[in-house]
Every structure is written in structure tokens, then in C-alpha cells.
Copies of this chain bind each other. A is one copy, B any other.
Amino acid sequence: MPESSIAVLQNLATQLRIDSVRSTTAAGSGHPTTCLSAAEIMAAVFFAEMRFDPRDPQHPEADRFVLSKGHAAPILYAAWAAAGAFPREDVMQLRELSSDLEGHPTPRLSFVDVATGSLGQGLAAGVGIALNARRIESDYRTYVLMGDGESAEGSVWEAAQVAAFHKLDNLCAITDVNGFGQSRATQFAHDADAFMSRWKAFGWHVIGINGHDMAQVLAAFKEARQTTGRPTMIVASTLKGKGVKLFEDKDNWHGKALKKGAEADAAIAELEAQYIKTNDPAPVIPKPAQRRSEGALPNFSKALPTPAYKLGDVVATREAYGTALAALGAIDRRVVALDSDVKNSTFSERFEKVYPDRFYQMFIAEQVMVGAAMGLAARGAIAFPSSFACFLERAGDFVRMAGISNLNIKLAGSHAGVSIGEDGPSQMALEDLAMFRGVPNCTVFYPSDAMSAERLMALAADTHGPVYIRTTRPKTPVIYEASESFVAGGSKTIRQSDRDAVTVVAAGVTLFEALKAHDVLAAEGTAIRVIDLYSVQPVDRAGLIAAGRATNGRIITVEDHYAHGGIGDAVSEAVWDQGFKVQRLAVREIPRSGPPDVLIDKYGISGRAIVEAVRALVTT
């Protein structure tokens, strides 16, 4: 790299600093100081390291950049503008409602793969993006810029160990050690060695540099590119607010824009004085390798082999999940699966057995499992991470960000509810439906039998965006023929007559409790309608209203879930304008260990409980 280019790159760093100050001042908010510490790194990675096409950021062979320290968004926007992705002056629309240049980056922008701004998530996404390069046999490289403060997040260390385990030498992260968090110095301040020793212990190749010395920055990227068998961490010692004396290396400047007028003008003048005179040519960004396409997506629902179950077979939906996952894997190689060391409980091991190269073991680390799935999905994979449903909550904030990113991930949670039995409350998911319904663009499926589980798996693969599939530990009887079809927002009426007194809405294990109640009540002359609400989000508003109208406006919901945020609330909202009575049978206290059937009854979601509720309701 000739000396002259360093001058050009340094000038680009200065330009990025100026634009970060200008845009945040125009917005009246934002984080200029965290941008300024990273200016040399950003200039180097965008104009001397990555191969990409600024006009086609989603090119499948392009190197990837993830801004994990998402509050440095202004310098990300400044860099893409400098590269030619959009006019430089557009950065002045930062944080305006009409602009996609939001306070933190989201994939509304074509050059953003995953939304960041919840700190500590970028590296996990980077792991997934790097795994995807291996999946598509591409030599694209993945760069992740992290803050020192966010390195306190455990998810960073989950990603660290997974990247080392999978020997991701196509992954290069940079920690911008500027020493300050939001409210104070970080725990290590300017002690770069503290970071270096940690990353070394976690199996990474580690390079320590002065992050404001362009030659050192360039040399570090070169060394990273030449490192094989493990990922590289560049620990860059920097100063927050570098280049503007007012706030350089000073506390209490986090998240504060300079005031319009004298304050900002002085800072910009100070930065402009840092331009170096040079006649060196502008850098040329190398183009990515030739585009290869993975082709149009198949119709998974059509392609799925007909499940071989017969009515009355007894099969757990989690087992059907595993069978379907393997079948989807055969249909298209974009289907990948991720596990957190429970593959023999979730049955994702059935996928691993046939497609070990597309099965990613994350060990007991749900955050990186979901984060890596986000990265894979951002690069074209259809990613199926699965675990016990309750442990997916460990990754709740990743799920939230996956929703903001509208990524094509399909989460599956097994072992839902008290029906798991003796393992006790720590292993029971009783709030997972609430969590996934709380992601507005997330489809939520809850199959009751193996047949619908397989069909809904194919439908999940066909549905763009986040999908959650809830599966059950105990075996349940197959109730659907292979000819039955399922749609997002649909439901199935399993029992009905023209004199039904109450509609009972159930899913999963409680559907079979509702069927028991149906028979007991029938014997005493009371007919009930039984609905399988396999699609919890979106929900079958028209079907529920019709059923409610046919049953005197009386609906009972019954779910192996807490009363909040699940099926009861979904049904209640769907029929809000009807003046119906929607009674929720659900778990209402912290449960304990015991046999599944005993717990289902003890917590009020058994056939007996439904019978009692129906009897009480028809007399009101």
C-alpha cells in the first residue's frame, strides 16, 4: 500500500468525521463522539479492504460489514455516501421520519443486513454471515465493528466461542477501544491488553493497534486476511471524539450532538484543518466476484413429501418437527438448522444426520444461536434455530431485533407448558407465545398433531419473515388426514353441531383436553364446538367470530401457557367488537414438578376444567 494512499484514506476519515458531526448537529441528537473514534477504521475497511459494489450492496459475493456499535450509525451512513451509495448531502436527513437513515441502522437500508442498536448483537450476526459464506462456497469476508462497552454483553462471548469452534477465518472483528461507555469509563478504560488477553483465550487471532494510525489499521486488516483456521480480532486503541478537542477523550459526551452555530462550526473547522494536501488518486473499491444465484425459492408446501402418518398414530409434534426439517432440507439447500445442544430433545438431530454441513452446533448459547440464524437469513438462508421454548427467551432481545430486521428465521420451541411434567417450572415455556406474538411481523404456529406440524413447517419455510413454531413434549394422536391443508390465519373446526352452546378454542395438548370435554358434555346433552387454533398469529378473526355467533357469544380458550399474551388474548382481540364473552383457561401460577396429566388438571387446563367452565358459562 503506497504512502500516498494513506493520505487519501486519512482524508476520507476526516470527511467521515465531518459528516458525522454535521448530520448529528442537523438532527439535534445522535452520537458523534463514538463515530469519531472509529473514523480511520471505517475509512480503511470501506476504501482499502472490502470488495463491494456501492450501487448493489446486496450482491451475494460482496464482503459484508456489520456495525455492531449501532449508535455510530452516522459514520456508517457517511461511509456509504462516500462510497457512492447515495448523495453525500443526504446524510443531513439523519433521524428524520421521511428518511431511512434512522437513529440506529435497520435493513430498511439496502446496505444493512441486520438491525443493530441493541448492543452486543453484531458479532453473533457476523458469525451467521460468515457461516453463510461457507454454505454458498463464497470467499466473501465479514467485518464487524464493535464497541468496547458492548463487549460486556455475554452474547459477544457466545459469538466469540462459536466463531473459534467453527474456525471462521473469514470473519474479522474490530473492537474500538475508546474507553468510554454511556455514563462513565468502561470497566477497562484504555487497557487494550484486557481485551487482547480475553480474545486470545477464546481462541482468536488477536492484533493490537493504534486505531488512529492508518498504516497500522491497514496492516492489521492484511494480517487478518492472511490468518487461517481462526477468526481475527483487531483491538484498536482510540479516543472517543477524536479530532475535536471540545470532547476528545472526555466523559459526559456520549450521545450528545454539538449545538448548531458556533459550537458545531468550530468543530467542523477544526476537522477541516486536518485534511492533508495530496494529489493521490481517489481509491477504487474492488468489485465482488461474479454473481451466482441460488435461484428462485421452491414452493416448500408443494414439495414436501406427504407425511406418512395415519389417523390415530401417536407422535409428538417435536418429532414431526425433526422429520419435516430434514425433508425441507432435501428440498432446498438454503434450509439450515441451528442447535444449542438439545438436538435429541427437539429432534433437529434428524436434520443433522442428513445435512451435517448445514447444521450448526452453537452449544448452550441461545443468543448466538438466534443471532447466527439472523446472519444466515440475512444472506439468503432459511434458518431454523430450535431449543426448548423456555430457553428461547434467553434470546428474547435477539428475537426483537430479528423482528425489526424482518429476517427470514423460523424459530422452534419444544417442551411447551406444564405438559413436560417432572422436570419442573424452569424447563416449562409458559410465556413463549406472548414473546413471539409481541413481534408484530412474526407468524406463530402451534400444531396439535404430527400431520399439521409437518404441514406448518413447510408453510413456515414458504412464509417470508420471522415464524415461530411451538411444539410439545408428549406424544399426541394424529387427527388430520394428509389431504388437509393449513394456512397462516386459519383454524380447524374439529367438532361442531347446529346446537353448540359454547366454542372451545385450543391448540397443542389442550386440543385433546377439549375433545375429552366434548365427549363428557355430549353425554350429558351439551354440545360444544371445538376449534384447533393452529395459527395463533395471524389469527382467524372471521372463523372465530362465526363460531362465537353460532354459540351464543360464548368462547372458552384453553392453553398450556400463562393467561397473558397467548391464545386467550389473541382470540379476545380478534372478536373485540362482537361483545362476546371470552373466558381464558390457562396456567395462572408458578407450576411445579409432577406427572403431565396431573399438572394439566391441577393448573386448570384439563378436560375436567373445560367441562366445569362450560357448565358454568351456559348457566349465565
Contact = CB atoms under 8 A, between A and B. Distances in A.
A594 B29 CA distance: 11
Interface in A366-386: 367-368
Contact of A569 (B156, B569, B580): B569
A364 B523 CA distance: 60
Contacts of A595: 97
Interface string A562-591: 111100111011001111111110011110
Interface stretch (A227-235, A397-405, A499-507): A397-405
A152 B365 contact: yes
A294 interface: no
B201 A593 contact: no
A179 interface: no
A597 to B, nearest CB: 11
Contacts of A103: 422-424, 426-427, 593
Contacts of A406: 590
A208 interface: no
Interface stretch (A342-350, A451-459, A525-533): A342-350
Given A97-B595, A152-B158, A397-B396, A565 B434 contact: yes
Contact of A431 (B423, B435, B579, B582): B435
Given A155-B154, A364-B120, A400-B390, A583 B577 contact: yes
B364 A152 contact: yes
A309 to B, nearest CB: 25
A604 interface: no
A242 interface: no
Interface in A110-156: 115-120, 149-150, 152-156
A364 B181 contact: yes
A422 B117 CA distance: 13
Interface stretch (A77-85, A408-416, A436-444): A436-444
B589 A440 contact: yes
Tell me which of A158, A391, A396, A427 has the highest count of chain B C-beta atoms within 10 A of its own C-beta: A396
A58 interface: no
A106 interface: yes
Contact of A553 (B157, B579, B593): B579
Interface string A418-433: 0000111111001100
Contact of A363 (B187, B365, B581): B187
Contacts of A396: 393-394, 396-397, 435
A200 interface: yes
B361 A184 contact: yes
B572 A563 contact: no
B117 A427 contact: yes
Contact of A201 (B201, B580, B588): B201
A104 interface: yes
A108 interface: yes
B152 A153 contact: no
Nearest to A115: B426
Contacts of A553: 579
Contacts of A342: 182-183
B115 A425 contact: yes
Given A154-B156, A181-B341, A424-B106, A576 B565 contact: no
Contacts of A435: 396, 431, 434-435, 438
Contact of A434 (B117, B183, B438): B438
A27 B422 contact: yes
A565 B96 CA distance: 30
A620 interface: yes
Contacts of A401: 426
Given A393-B397, A580-B579, A149 B363 contact: yes
A123 B92 CA distance: 47
A496 interface: no
Contacts of A116: 426
A165 interface: yes
Contacts of A582: 572, 576
A548 to B, nearest CB: 11
Contact of A364 (B150, B361, B394): B150
A10 interface: no
Interface string A186-216: 1100000000011011100000000000000
Contacts of A150: 364
Contacts of A364: 119-120, 149-150, 152-153, 181
Tell me which of A339, A424, A580 has the highest count of chain B C-beta atoms within 10 A of its own C-beta: A424
Interface in A29-62: 29-30
